[in-house]
Amino acid sequence: MKILYFSSVNWNWIKQRPHFIAEGLFKSGYKVDYLSMSPFGKVKIKNKKFENINFRIIELYSIPLHNKFIFSRIVNKFILNSYIDLDSYDIIIVTNPNQYGYIKDIKNKIIIYDCMDNNSLFYDGYVRKMIKLWERKLLYKSDKIIVSSNYLYETIIENYGEQLTNKLFVVRNAVDIDFCNYFDIQEYKSTLKSMKKPCFMYIGTIESWLDFDLLNRLLEKNKDWTLYLVGPYSNKMKRKFVENNDRIIWVGKKEHNQIKYWISCADIMVIPFKINELIKSVDPVKMYEFIAMDKTIISTYWSELEYFSSYDKLHFIDRENIFILEEEDYTENKFFAVNENFINKNNWGIRIKKYEEILNMD
């Protein structure tokens, strides 16, 4: 069976849910094409050649302002149709309402909407209205709707109708079962040697959803600590840390196979998200990876994190509740530990089995 996974992020971006699902379906025996479209000038794309023809990465350039102008959408649809024969696939998985226009006329194919964000909240004004309109149409056209969190499930029912319940399913995020399997002690030592201790660490895209005020206050309360930010960022985001910039290390993006060394070297991991409607729908992939490596975690709280409530090294903070860290708060962290029980229950292999069950439902 041939699947097109139409992702909102290109293959070279930080590894996240779309990458894991596409890979997982391929490993389960499906022929998978991973497609992404990136605006001209925004990123440099490069199509990779794989020895196995059953898993292809297809990256296309698109005209900017797709969400605002019909001309852009017409040209982008022409670009896609010039490279991709949508009728050649048995299953088409889309991940964003703005992809609806590409598949709206497709018939006799299984359409899956893999929803991992409350997408309209990334936009304002006219564009937000358009995203909501496209999402409604996509939801009703889709044969199955798969969401990554309970909050998204409830939001879709509330916003678009209870009649969607019979085709709406939750498949949470997970950790790669091989994430902790191979550990290069020399790579670990090399990473550790360059670090200031003790330290907090955030891993992920550095964007406006981070609570910069909270991070600044955390540094003010803990004068001897350094904050490491691992992930892509812009100069605009960097200016958010003017107050404590001498104690912040901007690491930048790292390959996914290096992330475990950075996690293992950190004393405490932080997930400092602003709590709003966008964040309430998030099931953070990094939380799974941090727990898999048995790390102490400081996070802001939203209801989706109740799923992790049994993990005793997870601590919640907010701007009014920022504590001074003592040595006993983090010395129990081993340089490399594996939470096997958690991994066995929360790996992508288990999630993909559930995903497949949904794909194969009548």
* Cα separation, 201 vs 308, whole angstroms: 19
In a domain, 179, yes or no: no
Residues 144 and 215 in one domain: no
97 and 207 in a single domain? The answer is no
Residues 33 and 168 in one domain: yes
Say if CB 32 and CB 55 are below 8 A apart. yes
The answer to the question of residue 180 being in a domain is: no
Distance CA(242)–CA(23), nearest Å, equals 40
| DSSP SS3 for 185 | helix
Number of domains in the chain: 2
Q: Are residues 164 and 196 in the same domain?
A: no
The domain that contains 81 carries what CATH number? 3.40.50.2000
Give domain status of residue 264, yes or no: yes
Residue 294: which region, alpha, beta or left (left: phi > 0; alpha: psi -120 to 50)?
Answer: left
- Give the per-residue pLDDT at 24: 97
Same domain, 157 and 223: no
For 84, the 3-state DSSP assignment is coil
Provide the edge-to-edge strand list for the sheet that holds 297-299. Answer: 248-252, 226-230, 199-203, 268-271, 297-299, 314-316
Task: Looking at the structure, tell me whether residues 150 and 196 fall in a common domain.
Answer: no
pLDDT attached to residue 342: 97
- Residue 15 in any domain: the answer is yes
In terms of domains, do 44 and 190 share one?
Answer: no
Shared domain check, 156 and 17:
yes
Question: Residue 25: how many CB atoms within 10 A of its CB?
Answer: 23
- Residue 288 resides in a domain: yes
Are the C-beta atoms of residues 191 and 265 closer than 8 Å to each other? Answer: yes
Domain range enclosing 264: 185-342
Cis peptide before 198 (omega within 30 of 0): yes
Same-domain check for residues 153 and 204: no
Contact at 8 Å (CB) between 264 and 195?
Answer: no
Co-location of 29 and 11 in the same domain: yes
- pLDDT, tens digit only, all 362 positions of the chain: 999 999 999 998 889 999 999 999 999 999 999 999 988 866 665 555 555 789 999 999 998 888 889 999 999 999 999 999 999 999 999 999 999 999 999 999 999 999 999 999 999 999 999 999 999 999 999 999 999 999 999 999 999 999 999 999 999 999 999 888 877 878 888 888 888 989 999 999 999 899 999 998 899 889 999 999 999 988 888 777 656 678 999 999 998 889 999 999 999 999 999 999 999 999 999 999 999 999 999 999 999 999 999 999 999 998 777 666 665 566 555 567 789 999 999 999 999 999 999 999 98
Q: For CA atoms 133, 68, 151, 357, give the dihedral sign.
A: positive
Closest CA to 116 of 18, 231, 10, 3: 18
Rg (CA), the chain: 21
Q: What angle do helix axes 348-359 and 17-27 make, rounded to 10 degrees?
A: 70
Domain check: are 320 and 253 in the same one?
yes
Q: What is the pLDDT of residue 178?
A: 87
Q: Which residues contact 101 (CB under 8 A, 6 or more apart)?
A: 73, 77, 134
Q: Could you write out the DSSP letters of every residue in 273-332?
A: B--SHHHHT---HHHHHHHHTT--EEE---GGGGGGTT-TTEEE-BTTB--PPPGGGTTT
Is 204 a member of any domain?
Answer: yes
332 and 227 belong to one structural domain = yes
Q: How far is the C-alpha of 233 from the C-alpha of 178, rounded, in Å?
A: 27
Name, in order, each residue with C-beta under 8 angstroms of 188's C-beta and a sequence gap of 6 or more.
Answer: 261, 264, 265, 335, 336
